Chain A
């Protein structure tokens, strides 16, 4: 069962090994971590390990989008508002310099303390948030800058005004816009990749996932409530949904797993940011010289062929 994932990880390993040495001396640590991941995946993650990913992905001290922005981008200029209804603090968008070149960045943003958590609505975006993200996508495309999206959303906000302002349509149109871009798009799930709210900004040329992030069609609690008729069965639901990075890699949903510092990203923000930066830089490099038309076509093919079914039951 784990063979495909193994192949993918091996590919990732060999790619890392072939990187020019100027990437820094600490690359060897990364290799060791990948090797450990590889060992783990060959054995397949246990139910306990999956639940540990869920807990780490939701860890209150886990670095959020702006923690990475602070460490990876210079001259960050944040954009505000969807130019229509308002400014959604659960989504940040802006531009800055990443390793010497201008990029646009969109990310979900949770709050750290009670006040900020409320202000940022626990990271649950409204349609205005997707509107703001779409502004950044359009700007990146118009000016030919790469787009990076960081995904960390428990789910789209289940509220009355969100529905009245067309949440479903907003998520659909955000994906459609990403499918049209002629500029490279790299996404990384950095915490919770919660359902429609997550995929709204994750239709990318390369989709990365941090080692302890999760990517789900429904939260374990929601799935447990519907399928087991008991939200208390969330661990069982998580084990069944397999939202952890190793399984997402195996299923071909993500292209590579970004290692985290020992113990999880919350243990060392700087190191987590460095590792994420390496992965993003490597991804962006791989799209250099590819025409906008080709990028767009390959991006659509990528999603056309995910989980391709060849046989019939």
Chain B
């Protein structure tokens, strides 16, 4: 946060892309519009209003891990289609398209890394891959991250961004909740640590499983952290919802997260926690 980053605002209120959706580089907070390199240089945080744009998994790993320290694991795993699921399109088609658009095999990337020279295991979710939804492979990779952390006696740092369980895998996606929960319990029994960083959005099945079981829970500003999303709550109960419904700030107020950490402070904060849990080593 020490030096200001020089950015130019190309033009306010960039014209929406086709379909009327705002351009992904237009800030929903203040309407400022940026080039990719401008946003990347500022960790994808709006220099004007501090809005936190989504961060892709690979970019997040670059932001958190020491240069060249990340060694990916289980990158080869791909989901199959246990139910032969077809809604408006085939699940297999959605998977293929997600892989093409994200360059990732699934909605989570795991591997060994160091943060400020402190060894850890990273498990980072990719919201761009089918809404970061958790199916069997996401669950499997998270479990492997837990096992790798336990084996190497290093903490696991998870960064979540997920709409919940992957519906296309039916009941098997629900089973990823107890599966990941059991893995965290094994990690804890082995004396391991889970530092859970919750980015926007961490909802439903991921919030209701491993993300909430961190020894320390850290949220990004403005992240939606709710089991049920505001639209469904509104429709079901017809209650007037507060503006901060389900947001990190509301969760903090109600005692569900330990800290809200702006992205510029995330790496030093994770490093500090890693150091503390390693007993000052």
Contacts and interface: CB of A to CB of B under 8 A. Distances in A.
Nearest to B203: A168
Contacts of A164: 250, 254
A248 B172 CA distance: 9
A159 B232 CA distance: 9
Contacts of B43: none
Interface in B178-223: 178-179, 181-186, 203-205, 207-213
A251 B167 contact: no
B186 A300 contact: yes
A303 B179 contact: yes
A307 B227 contact: no
A163 B228 contact: yes
Nearest to A300: B182
Interface stretch (B31-39, B53-61, B119-127, B234-242): B234-242
A226 interface: yes
Contacts of A167: 208, 226-228
Contacts of B171: 215-217, 241-243, 247-248, 251, 253
A173 interface: yes
Interface in B63-95: 76-80, 82-83, 85-88, 92, 95
A156 B228 contact: yes
B260 interface: no
Contacts of B165: 195, 217-218
B113 interface: no
Among A163, A171, A196, the most chain B Cβ lie within 10 Å of the Cβ of A163
B245 A156 contact: no
Interface stretch (A89-97, A101-109, A174-182, A256-264): A174-182
Given A168-B225, A172-B181, A306-B179, A199 B174 contact: yes
A160 B237 contact: yes
B183 A163 contact: no
Given A248-B171, A307-B136, A240 B225 contact: no
B248 interface: no
B233 interface: yes
A162 B246 CA distance: 11
A169 B207 contact: yes
Interface in A201-247: 202-203, 215-218, 222-223, 226-229, 237, 240-243, 247
A199 B177 contact: yes
A311 interface: yes
Query: Chain A interface: which size bin?
Result: 35 or more
Nearest to A198: B174
Nearest to A159: B237
A130 to B, nearest CB: 10
A130 B212 CA distance: 15
Given A176-B184, A180-B185, A307 B213 contact: no
A176 B181 CA distance: 6
Given A179-B185, A217-B171, A309 B80 contact: yes
B227 to A, nearest CB: 4
B167 A226 contact: yes
Contact of A159 (B182, B209, B239): B239
Contact of B76 (A158, A202, A312): A312
Nearest to B202: A168
Contacts of A251: 82, 170-172
24 contacts: A160-B237, A162-B227, A163-B227, A166-B254, A168-B207, A168-B227, A171-B208, A172-B181, A172-B212, A199-B175, A203-B178, A215-B174, A217-B170, A226-B167, A227-B87, A227-B88, A229-B88, A240-B86, A240-B170, A253-B175, A304-B143, A304-B182, A307-B82, A312-B76
Interface of A: 156, 158-160, 162-169, 171-173, 175-176, 179-180, 195-196, 198-200, 202-203, 215-218, 222-223, 226-229, 237, 240-243, 247-248, 251, 253, 299-300, 303-304, 306-307, 309, 311-313
Given A163-B227, A200-B208, A309-B80, 18 more contacts: A158-B232, A159-B233, A160-B242, A166-B251, A166-B254, A168-B211, A168-B227, A172-B181, A179-B182, A199-B175, A203-B182, A217-B174, A226-B167, A240-B86, A248-B171, A303-B182, A306-B175, A309-B137
